[in-house]
Amino acid sequence: MDSLARFAHDRMDCLAADGVVRQLHAMQPLPEMRIRVDGEEFVNFSSNDYFGLAQHPAVIAAMRAEHMAGAGASRLVTGTHTAVSALEEDLAEYAGTQAALVFGSGYLANIGTITALADKADLILADRLCHACMFDGAKLSGATLRRFRHNDLAHLEDLLKAQRAHCRNCIILTETIFSMDGDAAPLPEILELAKRFDCWVISDNAHGIGFMTPQPTAGHIQMGTLSKGLGGYGGYICATKPVVDLLISSARAFMFTTGLPACVIEAAKTSLTLLQSDAALRQRPRQLAKHVTESLGLPEVPGAIVPIVVGDNDTAIEAALQLEEHGIWVHAIRPPTVPKGTARLRICLSAAHSDAQVAHLIDALKKVL
């Protein structure tokens, strides 16, 4: 065994000892939020497709109507497809901002934006439960990074009082709905603190589209994805035109990556239209989540994510395996995705789930837990 293979083998042994080895499964999507995994069929309660738009007939038709499979190069090289420009106009209108910019993914949108706006002269204050890509962007920027306790406004204010005066600019990072805990940030209060201390805010709305009301205020950059609630793929930033112009010319994650295919863009545009025009569609995932939390005695959540924290990794894995025996697919979330000692089942509700599927989920969870 060569030294590289030996290194990989030894590292995998360490990961296995910690219970955090990941595996890829052969998955085939089926109608009605069902999937076939490694030859077995399950109801999928791990998908971020909160509104069932990934398999919506109108979204599929929009994708098939476009005859170009790829963009060919960076948008700065081959130009911007008219479909992308139209989607960016729709996203800006939805968010109440002057402009929007589509990136290749939500990960690229966050690291590209943060690194374009901050460097070693600046301060970044991030909620400790922000998504990994926000922390990666902060570290890549070279700025001083400090984490504040989750949704703790007093701790954030203390950090601002102690450190804001010693840096050129300050960016506050948060999520609107947190991906692993399912709770919401006190965004209006964070924006008010940012105004008092002359800071900028980047809010990750990846899991909040359709659930959270946009907050277009000065110094606020709204980030989101096309790949969760909208059922497609990609990421975006909504901000003032000067900010978007700056990102086009300096966000390396935008400049040096191939643009998204027009078929993906057309699908996202259709999804956004459907989501905005159908109030019942927007309400159903939250209603199902409320039914699940009430049935299990869990705290109510603002969106479609219901976390069930079990503690250690082995317990989470065992609970997920027992749910598989009931025909339910729920992934066991473990470190480093969540803090050590907080392994959990992450239940995701979708408008495409039937009442019978949700009733079966509740019954299975009561038996397993």
Q: Which of 127, 175, 183, 266 is catalytic?
A: 175
Q: What is the pLDDT of residue 210?
A: 96
Q: Which of 56, 81, 131, 331 is catalytic?
A: 131
**pLDDT value at 301 more than 80:** yes
Q: Which of 44, 47, 48, 271 is catalytic?
A: 48
Cα-trace Rg, the chain: 21
Q: Considering the chain, what percentage of its residues have pLDDT values greater than 70? A: 100
Cis peptide before 188 (omega within 30 of 0): no
Fold agreement between 21-50+304-368 and 57-276 = no
Q: Locate the domains of the chain by residue range.
A: 21-50+304-368, 57-276
pLDDT in tens, 265-300: 999 999 999 999 999 999 999 999 999 999 999 999
Say yes or no: domain 21-50+304-368 is CATH 3.90.1150.170.
no
Residue 279, helix vs strand vs coil: helix
Q: Which of 44, 47, 151, 179 is catalytic?
A: 179
Tell me the two tokens of residue 228.
């969760």
The span from the CA of 307 to the CA of 298, in Å, is 9
pLDDT in tens, 190-245: 999 999 999 999 999 999 999 999 999 999 999 999 999 999 999 999 999 999 99
131 catalytic per annotation: yes
Q: What is the CATH number of domain 57-276?
A: 3.40.640.10
> For residue 202, what are the β-bridge partners?
173, 221
